[in-house]
Structure 1
């Protein structure tokens, strides 16, 4: 069976994006960057939504390095009801029935499927019991004024089991969880 992993970079108060925040909220220490490079070097297929595709496609050409090109050429999917194709050679468009396609891919033996951003997709994978690991990457700041996209908003009650934890550069905390069903009271 193929694992489905969601990696979400958050603030301590759960914002998945800041209106004025740079990539990784500005936390780009050497351990964090090395950890990201190691994760991205592992075989995986990417699952993203249209908004994430748009954001990544708008990265200036000067920053589209070898890692960026490898991402666009590697196998993956974009979930969209509006698009019929994308300009990234490794990606295929999935429509509203994407969960059935991902369920079939999960039953196979290919490289892990990893979401990037795409909070709606992560929520749907969790609700459909298709997510194997939720990796929360906490940057040490709160953004009550400029934080947007509260990650946990709109999710059903869910419990998890901690699989692994790590502190990078003495400040970024990585928590790797496995979904563990509904809480007993739910």
Structure 2
């Protein structure tokens, strides 16, 4: 049986995964609370394999190296994610990686993830890695899109639009969870939209 693959992403209500350097929101847009942090810890403590693209891996590594500036990066769920077996899809990074139990997989992300889905005995999760996951959605390899929507609009400071340039998809809602009274986690099954002729 094939392992499930979840594209896990945080975003503002207007669809941005991050902010420009001049933005003053802080991690989680300053909206995290105990329910979110506990939920994230459970999610990554239940056993999974993590898949990251090279850009997201570099961003995580830089934040971990500068933990004094980014204290949220030391949240327990991030530690649990970092301790999970991790595959980094890259043609530009070299080993060794400063990440426990991480290995580089060279080649096309779709080929790498298809093989991992066949081999893995635990669910596969990918946090961020926007361009890689958009391509994996088109390839039909993403089983679940888990979007955590924060109660902010970042029209002036938003960066990295989550679905910019993505194909069209129909989404079947699988789960909806309200965390800390204002953060919505939505889990969908994506299906590539086919035009009606």
Regarding TM over 0.5, the answer is: yes
Could you tell me which of 174, 181, 187 is aligned with 1:170? 181
Which of 1, 11, 35 is equivalent to 1:31? Answer: 35
TM-superposed deviation, 1:183:
4.5
State yes or no: 1:72 paired with 2:82: yes
Residues 7-86 of structure 1 mapped to structure 2, 5 A cutoff = 7-19=8-20, 20=23, 21-58=25-62, 59=64, 60-61=66-67, 63=71, 64=74, 68-85=78-95, 86=97
Query: Is the 2:45–2:80 contact (alpha carbons within 8 Å) kept by the matching residues of 1?
Result: no
Specify every segment of 5 or more residues in structure 1 that has no aligned partner in the other structure, as ranges.
none
- Rounded to whole Å, the distance in 1 between the matches of 2:75 and 2:171 is 36
Equivalent of 1:121, from 132, 135, 139? Answer: 132
Query: Which stretch has the larger CA shift, 173-182 or 54-63?
Result: 54-63
Contact 2:41 2:76 in 1 (8 A): no
SS at match of 1:101: helix
Residue 148 of structure 1: SS of its match in structure 2?
Answer: strand
- What is the Cα deviation at residue 73 of structure 1? 3.8
Q: Structure 2: state its 5+ residue gaps.
A: none
Q: In the alignment, which of 156, 170, 175 is matched to residue 167 of structure 2?
A: 156
Counting matched residue pairs gives 186
CA drift of 1:79 comes to: 1.6
C-alpha distance in structure 2 between counterparts of 1:35 and 1:73, whole Å: 17
Aligned structure 1 segments of 4 or more residues deviating by more than 4 angstroms: 61-70
Q: Deviations over 1:111-150 (max 9, x none)?
A: 1110011101110110110000001110011111110111
Q: Who is 2:146 aligned against? A: 135
Q: CA deviation digits over 1:42-100, x for unaligned, max 9?
A: 10111112222222212235655765554434211112211131222311112232321
Task: Please give the per-residue CA displacement for 1:16-67, whole angstroms capped at 9, x wherever unaligned.
Answer: 1112232211111111111111111110111112222222212235655765
- Please state whether the residue corresponding to 1:54 is helix, strand or coil: helix
Is the alpha carbon distance of 1:67 and 1:9 closer, same or farther for their aligned partners in structure 2, counting shifts above 3 Å? closer
Give me the TM-score of the superposition, normalised by structure 1. 0.91
Separation in 2, partners of 1:66, 1:153:
30
- SS for the counterpart of 1:180 is strand
